Structure 1
Amino acid sequence: MCRDGQCEHRVDPLDMGAATDSGEGAGAAAGALGRRRLLTAGVAGAAALTLAPVSFAQAADGSSAAKPPAGSQETRVVTGFLETGAADFVYLPVEVPRGVQKIAVSYSYDRPTVPSGVPANSCDIGIFDERGIALGGSGFRGWSGGFRTSFEISNSEATPGYLPGPVDAGTWNIVLGPYQVAPQGLNYQVQITLTYGEPGPAFVKNYPPQRAKGRGRDWYRGDCHLHTVYSDGKHLPVDVATGARAAGLDFMVSTDHNTSSSHAVWGEYAGSDLLIITGEEVTTRNGHWLALGLPAGEWIDWRYRSRDDAFSRFSRQVRRGGGIVVPAHMYCAYIASQWKFGFDDADATEVWTGPWTYDDEHAISTWDQKLGEAVRTGKSWLPAMGNSDAHSDPNVIGLPHNVVYADDLATDAIMDGIRAGRSWIAESSAVKLTFTASGNGKQAGIGEKLTVPADAPVDIRLDVEGVPHGTVRFITDEGQMHQESVSAEGTGTVIWRTTASLAAYVRAEVRHPMADGTPGQGNTMGDALLFGPMAALTNPLFLVKTGH
Structure 2
Amino acid sequence: MKIRFEDTITTAHDHRHIPHVFEVPEGTTEVHIELAYSPRFSAGQMFHNQMSLSVADPAGPRGVYYLLRDYGINITEAACTPGFNAGPVRPGRWLIEVDTYRLLPPDPITYTIDVTLSDRPVDTPPRVFPKPKRALRGRGWYKGDLHAHSLHSDASWDIPDLIAYAKSRGHDFQSLTDHNTVSGLPEHDSRGDDELLTMGGLELTTYYGHAVVLGTRQWQEWRLDTDDHFTMPQLAQKAMDSGGFFIIAHPQNVGYPECAGCHWDFEDMRPGNARAVEIWNGTWNPCTEHATQDFYHWLNEGYRMVATGGTDLHGPHAEPRRHGTNVVFADELSEAEIVAALRRGHSYLSAGPELLLTAETASGARAMCGDSLSPDDATISIAWKDTPPGARLRFIVDGAVRDQRDASEAGAASWPLPKGAAQWCGAEIRGADGSMWAISNPIYLDGRQ
TM-score by length of 1: 0.74
Q: Give RMSD over aligned pairs.
A: 2.5
The aligned counterpart of 1:420 is: 344
Query: CA-to-partner distance for each residue in 1:80-106, whole Å, 9 max, x for gaps?
Result: 211221161111112211221111111
Distance 1:459 1:315, change over 3 A: closer
Q: Is the 8 A contact 1:155 1:201 kept in 2?
A: no
SS of structure 1 residue aligned to 2:297: helix
Q: Is the 8 A contact 1:207 1:266 kept in 2?
A: no
Q: Is the 8 A contact 2:141 2:327 kept in 1?
A: yes
Query: CA-to-partner distance for each residue in 1:42-80, whole Å, 9 max, x for gaps?
Result: xxxxxxxxxxxxxxxxxxxxxxxxxxxxxxxx3333322
SS of structure 1 residue aligned to 2:19: strand
- Of residues 301, 305, 326, the one that matches 2:221 is 301
Aligned-residue offset at 1:310: 3.6
Of the structure 1 ranges 105-114 and 91-100, higher mean CA displacement relative to structure 2 is found in: 105-114
Relative CO higher for 1 or 2, CA cutoff 8 Å, sep ≥ 6?
2
Distance 1:148 1:474, change over 3 A: same
Q: Distance in 2 between matches of 1:81 and 1:304?
A: 23
The aligned counterpart of 1:513 is: 432
The aligned counterpart of 1:339 is: 264
Distance 1:544 1:171, change over 3 A: closer
Aligned-residue offset at 1:352: 0.8
Distance 1:324 1:457, change over 3 A: closer
Aligned-residue offset at 1:492: 2.6
Distance 1:195 1:494, change over 3 A: same
Q: Is the 8 A contact 1:266 1:276 kept in 2?
A: yes
Q: Distance in 1 between matches of 2:169 and 2:81?
A: 29
Distance 1:419 1:397, change over 3 A: farther
Q: Is the 8 A contact 2:129 2:186 kept in 1?
A: yes
Matched, 1:385 2:308: yes
SS of structure 2 residue aligned to 1:257: coil
Q: Distance in 2 between matches of 1:397 and 1:126?
A: 33
Matched, 1:319 2:240: yes
Q: Is the 8 A contact 1:223 1:397 kept in 2?
A: no
Matched, 1:364 2:292: yes
Query: CA-to-partner distance for each residue in 1:172-211, whole Å, 9 max, x for gaps?
Result: 11221122223211101111112213455663442646x8
SS of structure 1 residue aligned to 2:165: helix
Q: How many residues align?
A: 436
SS of structure 2 residue aligned to 1:261: coil
Aligned-residue offset at 1:299: 0.5
Structure possessing the higher radius of gyration over alpha carbons: 1
Matched, 1:406 2:330: yes
The aligned counterpart of 1:61 is: none
- Structure 1 residue runs without a partner (length 5+): 1-73, 132-138, 375-379, 515-531
Aligned-residue offset at 1:212: 4.2
The aligned counterpart of 1:281 is: 203
Paired-residue identity, % = 28
- Of residues 452, 462, 480, the one that matches 2:401 is 480
TM-score by length of 2: 0.90
Aligned-residue offset at 1:236: 1.1
Question: What letter matches 1:326 in structure 2?
Answer: I
Q: Distance in 2 between matches of 1:188 and 1:435?
A: 55
Q: Is the 8 A contact 1:323 1:415 kept in 2?
A: no
- Of residues 43, 50, 61, the one that matches 1:122 is 50
The aligned counterpart of 1:542 is: 444
Distance 1:117 1:151, change over 3 A: closer
Q: Distance in 2 between matches of 1:419 and 1:112?
A: 42
- Of residues 202, 217, 226, the one that matches 2:148 is 226
- Structure 2 residue runs without a partner (length 5+): none
Q: Distance in 2 between matches of 1:113 and 1:452?
A: 59
Aligned-residue offset at 1:215: 3.3
Distance 1:398 1:467, change over 3 A: closer
Q: Distance in 2 between matches of 1:208 and 1:475?
A: 43
- Of residues 357, 360, 371, the one that matches 1:448 is 371
The aligned counterpart of 1:352 is: 280
Q: Is the 8 A contact 2:296 2:399 kept in 1?
A: no
Q: Distance in 1 between matches of 2:250 and 2:426?
A: 21
